[in-house]
Homo-oligomer: A and B are copies of this chain.
Amino acid sequence: MEKTFEKLKNELKNKNIRLSHQRLKVLEYMSTHKTHPTVDMIYNDLQKEVPTLSKTTIYNTLDTLKNAGLVKVVTIEDNEVRYDSRTHEHGHFKCVSCEEIFDFDIKFDSFATKGLDNFKINNKDVYFKGICPDCSTKQ
């Protein structure tokens, strides 16, 4: 069940976050591009529509959206930060060949963990790396 741009817009309104032109553009971009983009990808794409857009604004906006729970940060590699607007629980798989990031379903409750009694868990991330089917057959 994906959230539409309109729904996301309402969520911002409800949280008293101003609906600036730039913010809405970034939000719309995130809701239509499920590619786990980097700041640079967002910047390069959106600049075509909004030439005055600043990269600082994208950083600020993503931070705002992150705090509002509308986007998630994906740190699957140590040298790039990606953003994800799918906020339901799922895992991330990065193909080390084509660099694409795939979402996959995962039941966090199914984890058999030991040694976390009395730990308050607020956030769970599951990152896999390997080769995607397309890249496997190409080799």
Binding site for B on A (CB under 8 A): 73, 75-78, 81, 91, 93, 96, 102-107, 110-133, 136
Contact = CB atoms under 8 A, between A and B. Distances in A.
A113 to B, nearest CB: 5
Contact of A75 (B77, B104, B111, B133): B77
Contacts of A115: 102-105
Given A77-B75, A126-B126, A132 B119 contact: yes
A103 to B, nearest CB: 8
A118 B125 CA distance: 22
A112 B116 CA distance: 20
8 contacts: A75-B77, A105-B114, A106-B111, A110-B111, A119-B128, A121-B130, A125-B128, A126-B126
Contact of A119 (B114, B116, B120, B131): B131
